[in-house]
Structure 1
Amino acid sequence: MRIFTAALATETNTFSPIAVDKRAFEASLYARPGEHPVTPTLCTAPITVGREVCAREGWELIEGSASWADPAGLVARATYEELRDEILDQLRAALPVNAVVLGLHGAMVAQGYDDAEGDILSRVREIVGPEVLVCAELDPHSHLTAKRAAAADFFVYFKEFPHTDFVDRARDLWDIAVRTLKGEIRPVMSVFDCRMIDVFPTSRQPMRGFVDRMFALEKSEPGLLSLSVVHGFMAGDVPEMGTKVLAVTDGDAALGAALAERLGRELYALRGTFMVAQVDEVAAVDAAIAAPVGPVVIADVWDNPGGGTAGDATVVLAELLARGITDVAVGTIWDPMAVQICMAAGEGAVIPLRFGAKSAPHTGNPIDRRVTVRKLVRNAEMKFGESFAPFGDAAWISFDGVDVILNSTRAQSFDPSLFSTMGIDPTSRKILLIKSTNHFYDSFSKIASEIVYCSAGKPYPNRPAETEYRKARRDIWPMVENAWL
């Protein structure tokens, strides 16, 4: 067997002012054929798992390029087309192949391409023809369009949010692919439109139990190969935005359709109950002060670079400073210019510095302080499950009893190693202010005395009923109260 694999992924917040070009991919991950590191970067797990599987089976794995950019705004048309065509040319050069196994995100939008994944999958299908297996692993914060479903044999999505299972789901993808290539099964997809958009953290009920039932069904239901909830991505203004349920069965589309509809209607009945309650910055600081011990984690949930925002909002930090709160560590505030100034000044320097709140309105005001540059780290990384997430050149600055990590590559706060990499012991601070919606939970919950979810400012379009969409459908909840009337 000859199998081609490659990855091209990012998550596009179409409301974000931060454009994505080739440099954004190079800052996060750009690996030419055969140069992908041993550890995966989220959507590139099909490549690293594919190496294991093909070595075991004695098959030939032909690697194409792997590119990942941290979530932001629209991808420049020239960048998308260059990276797409690079992979397509590699596929043509690899022919004949028995299968194409891809790592994609599912919420990429480029200038001129509302459905980038549908575009690349359709072009892959045109190249290999109808008989070659085409499959992909995707992030659930994505858009499952009719175009991409028609072009592929099957998809597998991460089940967990936080996405701690991206390697496990890549193994599921490859297991189905191997069995298909050996003639043991014939996967078919069935999709149910839930007519809603919501946020579904699996770290709490009711989504925790829902996902556990999906796992149980995959083991107990004859003919069922895979179940996925495609959460949707409310910051993507595209025509087919919304939540879907996907069932992959062994040649039984009717079984898949029935299961997908049953689960999808259950999700709809639970709409609005999945996301944890959030408070504003005043209440968040009140709660942190009142906690008897730390560290109290304040999660600035909507200024989350993982959702495409800048990660430079200062609303919560300004509230802490206004009240004279000390024993605080902030990770991170994205400000490449401030990092550059700190790098030039050097460790130990005491300098006047303005940082934060440069990217967009409703994110607060820049902070002006005289700061001490405590530590500088080039190409800093933090842990994220079995992988590492870069946050670029970074500076630890301190002032008024507050420590702040400034970073040059946008990244949400995945893991406490964000702090320890910079020389800060996160367990020694009363308050940790981080930027993440839910990916932080798996690791930070292990050290936190309390977690406060804070909705501060308006860096992210987190209220779909009020969002000024231009392309997204308006016939789904919560844009309408009952989408099934």
Structure 2
Amino acid sequence: MTASSSKRIFVAAMATETNTFSPIVIDRRAFEESFYAAPGMHPSTATLCTAPIPVGRKVCAEQGWTLIEGSSAWADPAGLVSGPAHQGLRDEILEQLKAAMPVDAVVLGLHGAMVAQGCIDPEGDLLARVRDIVGPDILVCAELDPHSHLTAKRVAASDFFVVFKEFPHTDFVERAQDLWALVVDTLEGKITPVMSTYDCRMIDVFPTSREPMRSFVDRMIALENTDPKVLSVSAVHGFMAGDVPEMGTKMVVVTDGDAAHGAALAEKLGQELFANRGKHMMPSMDERMAVITAMKPHDGPVVLADMWDNPGGGTAGDATVILHELIAQGATDVAIGTIWDPIAVKLCMAAGEGAVIPLRFGSKSAPMTGDPVDALVKIITVSEDAAMVFGESVVPFGPAVRIALLDGDGVDIGIEVILNTVRAQSYDPSLFTALGIDPLAQKILVIKSTNHFYAAFAPIASEVLYCSAGKPYPNDPATNPYRFVRDDIWPRVENPFAKED
């Protein structure tokens, strides 16, 4: 640490979420299509895992400190990151750090579930290399997404992590602010952060929009505010589509110099999560029952979530199982956002707005996503650069087109579909308005997301239905064909703590 009161802090971001079962490889272009900013070029608004950069600007300006910005990159979740993309981004950031030396701290925006070709733990690899550059006494910390893998390598290389508490992730800016508050207090000598972790030995899904996780998150926040020894409490949910050895749920407690207190609290909270295993997941139904329920009279639109064809979980977002069921049951006043099909988008854009063409779309990416749809369609709207919002972030999903399905006589059957080119889950109703669809005028809104949609869609929904349709995503950890996930973890075994009882 430098002797003067003026500090030099390096900040950068490298993030994506890897579904190791997904066939879609993430290359450099995928990062650039989703989000990439060269040093100093990050916008003033935060973008999920890059939030430490704009938040850090404000903090360092207030402190009179120097912030050295490295690159920031985010790719929408998919399969493995290509070796050249991973190594290129990693080395780019490391070279920027070397050029910035000496520094008093390194603050990173990471996701935590990245897996690359030839590297099963890219975040651990990056953090270890950062530690090698700065040495043992310089502060190294990061903000993480809860759907991550808390590996021993990452913990060993870092002073502390702060993790989003909410799922849907509505709090990524707040958690970046928490992270920076700890950085400031550490560098000013007010605290000595010590990180304790606990392995819950379970695989589950933890939506915080419902019980029992809602109360658990509220209690984590209360502990931070009432326990003078506790600086931060985080639950790392894990990511069940990441087939890696250290996958699973973990607790993280950061205390002010009291590792024993942190370890005891992490274990206590971790055992509470384990006691509620299997009770956290949203209740779901199959596509037939979901459509039947959605077609019943409602006062306002029904939001039907295709929860496992979620591009935010690394799938393609091109499944058609629910669409085929809607057609079979004669549903009307339906808008679907979105089905990913770049080829179909190009065909529609070539034909132009107002054209009527035969079109085959959807279900190109993987088995168990349904059959392609063959239909006569009318092209209603064409957008060269469609985008929606997610909190303060702007999420691109275009070029995109809005099509209406017609019957054999050219009559509109009452179902419209947004086809997109850039994969993105359905975060917000602005997804529909971007293509000229009024979401409040629909009887049924079909979206592709597991739970991130909830905060923005629930206020306009008469009912929210979670539909488990097909199996584009490995959604049963008891039977998923893992190769690397350990066997002593629930639900692969009933009680992984039995040997200790």
- TM class, shorter-length: over 0.9
| Partner of residue 2, structure 1 | 8
Selected match of 2:444 from 409, 431, 435:
431
Counterparts of 2:168 and 2:329, CA distance in 1: 32
Opposite residue 435 of structure 2, the aligned amino acid is M
Structure 2 CA distance for aligned equivalents of residues 484 and 43 of structure 1: 33
1:331 and 1:190 map into 2 onto residues whose CA distance is 42
Q: Which of 408, 412, 418 lines up with 2:421 in the alignment?
A: 408
Counterpart code for 1:437: T
Residue 482 of structure 1 and its aligned partner are, at CA, apart by: 1.0
SS at match of 1:290: coil
Aligned residue for 2:410? none
**Deviations 1:411-434 (Å, cap 9, x if unpaired)?**
000000000111000000000010
| Residues 1:466 and 2:472 aligned together | no
Q: Which residue number in structure 1 is paired with residue 64 of structure 2?
A: 58
Give unmatched runs, 5+ long, in structure 2. Answer: 1-6, 406-412
Residues 86-145 of structure 1, C-alpha deviation per residue, up to 9 Å, x if partnerless?
A: 000000000010000000000000011111100000000000001111000000000000
Query: Per the alignment, in what secondary structure is the counterpart of residue 42 of structure 2?
Result: coil
Q: Distance in 2 between matches of 1:102 and 1:444?
A: 31
Q: Answer yes or no: is 1:49 the counterpart of 2:55.
A: yes
4+ aligned runs moved over 2 Å, structure 1: 291-294
Q: How high is the TM-score relative to the length of structure 1?
A: 0.99
Give the AA of the match of 1:211: V
Map residues 291-310 of structure 1 onto 2, 5 A cutoff: 291-310=297-316
Residue 278 in 1 paired to residue 284 in 2? yes
Per the alignment, in what secondary structure is the counterpart of residue 255 of structure 2? strand
2:370 corresponds, among 353, 364, 371, to 364
Instruction: Please tell me whether residue 386 in structure 1 is matched to residue 392 in structure 2.
Output: yes
1:123 corresponds, among 93, 105, 129, to 129
Distance 2:445 2:200 in 1: 37
- Distance in 1 (alpha carbons) for counterparts of 2:120 and 2:200: 21
Aligned to 2:216: 210
SS at match of 2:378: strand
**Farther-moved stretch of structure 1 (141-150 vs 33-42):** 33-42
Question: What whole-Å deviation, never above 9, does each CA across 1:188-221 have from its counterpart, x for those lacking one?
Answer: 1000000101000000000000000000000000
How far apart in 2 are the matches of 1:83 and 1:323?
48
CA drift of 1:223 comes to: 1.3
Aligned pair partner of 1:331 in 330, 337, 341: 337
3-state DSSP class of the match of 1:279? coil
**Aligned partner of residue 211 in structure 2, secondary structure:** coil
**Does residue 1:477 correspond to 2:490, yes or no?**
yes
User: Offset of 1:276 from its aligned partner?
Assistant: 1.4
CA offsets, 1:53-74, max 9 Å, x none? 0000000000000000000000
- C-alpha distance in 1, partners of 2:297/2:490? 37
Q: Does 1:164 align with 2:170?
A: yes
1:196 has 2:220 as partner = no
The amino acid across from 1:461 in the alignment is P
Amino acid paired to 1:464: P
TM-score (norm 2): 0.96
Cα separation, 2, equivalents of 1:137 and 1:368 = 45
Structure 2 distance, partners of 1:79, 1:379, is 24
Q: Which residue of 2 aligns with 1:419?
A: 432
Q: How does 1:438-449 map to 2 (within 5 A)?
A: 438-449=451-462
| Distance in 2 separating the partners of 1:291 and 1:144 | 46
**2:323 matches 1:317:** yes
- 2-side partners of 1:323 and 1:163: how far apart? 34
Superposed CA deviations along residues 24-62 of structure 1, whole A, max 9, x for unmatched, are 001001111011111111000000100000000000000
Distance 2:318 2:132 in 1: 43
Pick which of 290-299 and 70-79 moved more.
Answer: 290-299
2:272 counterpart (259, 266, 274): 266
Match of 1:244 among 245, 250, 253: 250
Residue-by-residue CA offset, 1:331-350 (whole Å, 9 max, x unaligned)? 00000001111111111111
AA in 2 matched with 1:203: S
* Partner amino acid, structure 1, of 2:174: D
- CA-atom RMSD, angstroms? 0.6
Matched AA of 1:99: A
- Secondary structure of the 2:131 match is helix
Name the CA distance, whole Å, in 2 between partners of 1:376 and 1:292.
Answer: 31
SS at match of 1:365: coil
Separation in structure 1 between the aligned mates of residue 298 and residue 164 of structure 2, nearest angstrom: 37
Could you say which residue in structure 2 is the equivalent of 1:353?
A: 359
SS at match of 2:496: coil
Aligned counterpart for 1:138 among listed residues 144, 148, 153: 144
Shift of 1:474: 1.1
1:186 aligned onto 2:176: no
How far does residue 293 in structure 1 lie from its aligned partner after superposition? 2.9
**Residue 146 of structure 1: CA displacement?**
0.4
Secondary structure (helix, strand or coil) at the match of 1:169 reads helix
Alignment length (residue pairs):
485
Code of the aligned partner of 1:384: F
* CA distance in structure 2 between the aligned counterparts of 1:12 and 1:347, rounded to whole angstroms: 36
Match of 1:27 among 19, 28, 33: 33
- Counterparts of 1:34 and 1:447, CA distance in 2: 38
What is the deviation of 1:440? Answer: 0.4
* Structure 2 CA distance for aligned equivalents of residues 293 and 224 of structure 1: 46
Q: Deviations over 1:266-305 (max 9, x none)?
A: 0000000001111000000010112333300110000000
Consecutive unaligned residues of structure 1, counting only runs of 5 or more, are: none
Q: Deviations for 1:203-246, whole angstroms, at most 9, x for unmatched residues?
A: 00000000000000000001100000000000000000000000
The one-letter amino acid paired with 1:220 is T
CA distance in 1, matches of 2:294, 2:414: 16
What is the CA–CA distance in structure 2 between the aligned matches of 1:291 and 1:22, rounded to whole Å?
47
Letter in 1 for 2:474: P
- For 2:345 and 2:381, locate their aligned partners in 1 and report how far apart those are by CA, in whole Å: 11
CA distance in 1, matches of 2:466, 2:397: 23
Secondary structure (helix, strand or coil) at the match of 2:33 reads helix
Task: Out of 176-185 and 289-298, give the one that drifted further.
Answer: 289-298
3-state SS of 2:399 partner? strand
